[in-house]
Structure 1
């Protein structure tokens, strides 16, 4: 029991690495649906089913379950939002320092075949899997590296789109509106990669990191946002900033925006900026995983947080986080009496709660220029709304027919709309077509699926969703 917040907390175990995600033909033949992998997700689904069936015996409410996790746990939480098999098993979600990540089945299968062939080259696929079951699991784990090595987030083994547990990639599922729509809290920390980055960073190392991660045409902008500096301290600040914003701040915004645009349930974004009060740790800022000490109120039990090392600022943060998190778990809204107001997230204003000794809920636009920059680096196109329910004064619903369509679409445009552009995006946010000043478009040459239409004219935006059929 989380007695301080009057909630029941359940922690679960699930298979990791190759044991959790191996896709291989020898395993496919054993499966009723001809697919393999995603065993870790099966474990998570089984745990949620167990909670549904048994939590009442522990004083819990099976109709009010919140799934939450940090880092890999946050990835799992985000992925469960997109799984049809998780529908109804949870009612709220908290993603801390993560976003959903799912790979293609083909890539996972190729990886699995190569991995098994490192152990056994001869025999049928079934015989190879039989041999793998005789290998000690330690022989698998010793081949794995830290997922945060050098500050570069990398996960060797991932869930895969198998057509059963996962039907598509997360953003496509969010854009379609066909996901587990629940109140969502999502956020990250201000110096996520400070513990994983090199202790000493020199200016040339910032240059090298920019050259590695940014295309030539955008490097000048990268240097303006993240100066190489003239000292090791200045260089390290930019180095950590690149790793943090490129991998956490920006990706968090993408998920918050996409979910908020495509569901009626509220989204709440946070940014954790509290620093440890002892000098030895303060230099690392708000590092990856640090907020967990405060969510669970156990920094005061840590070696470097005990006794006189535990300051009033630490206590203020842990008390606030406990109340925000448990309020959200109970009601879907983190706010409560005596707490700084946490604004609901909208993609149009990007407002959030800054979590520190005195939380600040009056800020909007979290590292906007830097997040916009990282979107440009990968050519990211923001989600559009499939439901049109988020309140945005400059964004209006578009009517068109027929929908679904096998080809031509006719637009019902406002009479005062004269000079405008039309953009068609697929479910991955990739631009497929563009038009100017027409009330008809033709999707005959496009594959069947869901497409998003956006019309832009003099600061006004009209959006809608099209279903393309044969």
Structure 2
């Protein structure tokens, strides 16, 4: 994803990846070819792991703008799968934010873009120890969905390289791109009776369903088990996992879920989604066009015009449309459709130090007098009418050692970034039919920038992927930094792999991790020494609950 988009959409200064490309291939160890339902693909072997990049799972969406995807047409011969596929159009940002992002990018050495942008963006990547599994048990499949809200992002990045995870766990890793922002979530059904647009508000999610169907139909040829598919994602990727749990078309295509700092309690109602779409059409001058002519005009527009119009909103979301998404994922309860699927939910202790502080360095030097106003400005809509001065007084009583900035980031995290996870875990625990649910909290403090980011948003990604050396801006750039963090990466990646294999994350690398319930609220804390605690930050959780969290944009 573009550097500025990394910063704007949830990766901030915390998402400080290596500028080196993980895909500077050494001499190929072999030239593997796998037959898929659409044709043969040729991959590359590196470090003993076979990798296939940019496999198309769907046809070019330009021919079906704002319509559900269709499978890619079969090809003849062997298709090379050795370079990134294209990625979805991204939600742009204004000049001021670009300049702000450029400064942070240069300071922390963020990577350049990976992959071209186009509407031919339905591609996925596969890492496997070997395609052939004749005579052996098929491997668990880890299907990763990227963050960036529903606006921006891509898996075309070094951080999501599946080599080490596939090798460590004898597993198959899949990462996927799909349509974003207005290209994936423009709800036209209330503004035209064109049946082609009946599902337009959720086509980005239907892309992911199509990718999961591709996994079901093809992953065995890569050595994977289509009956042991774990969907997992961070930030927006975790929210997409929650949304898939409420989609009938996705039912049965995955068997475990892990959501990292990303929840979707409610989706956009038709009214709000229609208002966004109307603003989009006004921007294009198409709001007065008869519905019968709308598709022709939308199909004829250049991609740049659609990208520009998408900027009318920063909250493109799935829509509760009564069809593709018939209900909210976790309201008023956990969707019965997936309540029997095991689920892990987690957040980082200091989410907003990167999410908000990454683009506002002045927040790290607040005075006590400035904290209430900073809370109002940055998270006022999450406070639910609670006086920010009361919030500050509470935190000063609970944590007398905290500085003004510490209080700001702790409260901003508790009210903005944490409640969705708490609600989803509670509603799973409240359902008598719910399968097992586990909750974690990432506490490990990043040493980068003098430690000021704590355990920020995105920090758990390189640990679960076991890619510490590819994230020097999160972990530290020295060999000593990586060596210090590696035992935790070992424990976290082993736990993810145990979960993918069995549906239970418990394994010898961690203390016994009990399921989450409303009496003990057992939570695994990831730190130099992982531990299980009961109801961490209970006072903060109870205070934030009084604000009656509402999902942004819904």
The TM-score, its normalising length taken from structure 2, stands at: 0.62
**Structure 2 counterparts to residues 377-392 of structure 1, below 5 A:** 377-378=547-548
1:306-358 deviation digits (Å, cap 9, x = unpaired): 44343433101110111011111111111112422222111221111000111
Aligned to 2:504: 333
- Shift of the 129–241 alpha-carbon distance from structure 1 to 2, 3 Å rule, reads farther
| 1:281 CA displacement | 5.3
SS at match of 1:66: strand
Question: How far apart are 1:27 and its partner, in Å?
Answer: 7.8
| Superposition deviation, residue 249 in structure 1 | 2.1
Q: Distance in 2 between matches of 1:171 and 1:73?
A: 16
Question: Larger Rg: 1 or 2?
Answer: 1
**TM-aligned CA distance change 1:54 to 1:111, over 3 Å:** same
Conserved in 1, the CA contact under 8 Å of 2:347 and 2:418?
yes
2:361 to 177, 199, 202: 199
- Match for residue 137 of structure 1 among 303, 306, 315: 303
Aligned partner of 1:5 in structure 2 is 169
Going from structure 1 to structure 2, the CA distance change for 1:265 and 1:236 (only over 3 Å counts) comes to: same
Counterpart in 1 of 2:254?
90
Which consecutive unaligned segments of at least 5 residues does structure 2 have? 1-127, 129-165
User: Aligned-pair distance for 1:215?
Assistant: 5.2
Tell me what 1:73 maps to: 237
Equivalent residue for 2:534, pick from 351, 364, 374: 364
Query: Relative to 1, partners in 2 of residues 1:65 and 1:28: Cα closer, same or farther, differing over 3 Å?
Result: farther
Change (3 A) 1:217 1:339: closer
SS at match of 2:346: strand
Structure 1 position 375, deviation (Å): 1.4
Give 1:295's aligned residue.
Answer: 464
CA distance in 1, matches of 2:296, 2:262: 35
Instruction: Give the stretch that moved more between structures: 314-323 or 26-35.
Output: 26-35
- Which consecutive residues of structure 1, in runs of 5 or more, have no partner in the other structure? 147-153, 381-470
Contact 1:267–1:345 (8 Å) recurs in 2? yes
Determine the structure 2 residue equivalent to 1:108. 273
Alignment partner, residue 464 of structure 1: none
CA shift digits 1:79-103 (9 cap, x unpaired):
1111122111100000000111411
Give the distance between the partners of 2:386 and 2:202, measured in 1 at CA: 39
Q: CA deviation at 1:275?
A: 1.6
Kept after mapping to 2: 8 A contact 1:352/1:364: yes
Deviation at 1:141, TM superposition (A): 3.5
**Match of residue 125 from structure 1:** 291
Residues 22 and 220 of structure 1: CA distance in aligned 2, closer, same or farther (over 3 Å):
same
Shift of 1:377: 1.3
SS at match of 1:11: strand
Of structures 1 and 2, the one with the larger relative CO (CA 8 A, separation 6+) is 2
With over 3 angstroms needed to count, the CA separation of the structure-2 counterparts of 1:85 and 1:372, relative to structure 1, is same
Contact 1:84 1:180 in 2 (8 A): no
